[in-house]
Amino acid sequence: MNKSSLNRAVLVGRVGDKPEGRYTPKGTSMASFSIATNEMWGNGEDRQEHTEWHNIVTWGKSADFVSDFIQKGQLICIEGRLKTRSWKDKEDNTRKTTEIVASSITPLEWKKNGAKTESGVSEPNEDEEDLPF
């Protein structure tokens, strides 16, 4: 590791949609998904909130874990590094995106086809589509 710099991101947020798992032509598994982090400030009637969306990519066994066990709305902790990549779209415009390449994904709650209850046990929840993100 270069001692003069550090590229590290740590986020705690809720999964925006079911992670999408894929395989490279050489058979390496990868998964991509987004998480939302919320920021609140002010008090009383002046209270404001902002939601920031983060694109996450993970590889190998971590990707397999995410594809099999991580659900929409689940609270997770992501550790990884920021990576910016660019490509040309169909109209030959250069596009860029910054994402977090996750090295560690830790579920902070478990969901099983439903929402977590106060006791920590998941129960079916038909209103899951009504999540604010």
CATH assignment at residue 83 = 2.40.50.140
The more confidently predicted of residues 38 and 116 is: 38
Distance between CA atoms of residues 96 and 103, nearest Å? 22
Q: Is 128 a member of any domain?
A: no
pLDDT for res 116 = 46
Q: Is 105 a member of any domain?
A: yes
> Which residues have a Cβ under 8 Å from the Cβ of 19 and sit 6 or more positions away?
31, 32, 33, 66, 67, 70
pLDDT for res 113 = 57
Structural domain count, the chain: 1
Prediction pTM value? 0.76
pLDDT digits (tens, 9 = 90+) for 63-109: 999 999 999 999 999 999 999 999 999 999 999 999 999 999 999 98
Q: What is the CA radius of gyration of the chain?
A: 17
- The domain of 106 spans 9-40+48-110
| Amino acid at the residue 78 | I
Q: Is 4 a member of any domain?
A: no
